[in-house]
Amino acid sequence: MADTVKFDLVSPERLLRSEDVDMVVIPGSEGDFGVLPGHAPIISTIRPGVIEVHKGTATPERIFISGGICEVSADRCTVLADDAVEVASLDRAGVEKRLKDAEEDLVDAKTDLDQHKASTAVAVLREMMQVAR
């Protein structure tokens, strides 16, 4: 059995990361789960939250994702993310403005589809505010 897991993070636009890591912690829709070498195969939806990437003894890298799907095998963890951004690069003031705009869009929404889109954006941005510095 390998000592590492191949971690791939993919957004709709491009491959964001592909590297060997010791462990990845994923914010699954049913709760957080860690992926280590030899993990049982699963497919899970992902809620908005932070992925932690562990390599060696260094502080884990933290990546905010707005949701997506994760596929795990014994030696690979692939995350197909709707959107992803390094937590360290989040700008709290910018996130606050986007949240305010999204809340206004929710109030102004006329159709069920517009309400759904706006409420989803509000939920993601609220979660992002929790992790923004």
User: Is residue 80 domain-shared with residue 21, that is, in the same domain?
Assistant: yes
CATH number at residue 19: 2.60.15.10
DSSP 83: -
User: Is residue 73 domain-shared with residue 101, that is, in the same domain?
Assistant: no
User: Is residue 83 domain-shared with residue 19, that is, in the same domain?
Assistant: yes
More confident residue, 132 or 111: 111
Share of the chain above pLDDT 90, in %: 84
For the entire predicted model, the pTM comes to: 0.87
For residue 44, the enclosing domain spans: 5-87
User: Is residue 31 domain-shared with residue 54, that is, in the same domain?
Assistant: yes
Dump pLDDT digits (tens) for 6-44.
999 999 989 999 999 999 999 999 999 999 999 999 999
User: Is residue 79 domain-shared with residue 33, that is, in the same domain?
Assistant: yes
User: Residue 119: its pLDDT value, please?
Assistant: 92
In degrees, rounded to 5, the angle at the alpha carbon of residue 94 between the alpha carbons of residues 51 and 60 is 20
User: Is residue 57 domain-shared with residue 109, that is, in the same domain?
Assistant: no
User: Is residue 51 domain-shared with residue 114, that is, in the same domain?
Assistant: no
User: Is residue 56 domain-shared with residue 110, that is, in the same domain?
Assistant: no
The answer to whether 37 and 4 are in contact (CB under 8 A) is: yes
Task: Give the count of domains, the chain.
Answer: 2
User: Is residue 107 domain-shared with residue 83, that is, in the same domain?
Assistant: no
46 pLDDT higher than 80: yes
Dump pLDDT digits (tens) for 103-116.
999 999 899 999 99
pLDDT band of 80, cuts 50, 70, 90: very high
DSSP 37: T
DSSP 39: P
Structure tokens at 16: 């964001």
User: Is residue 104 domain-shared with residue 50, that is, in the same domain?
Assistant: no
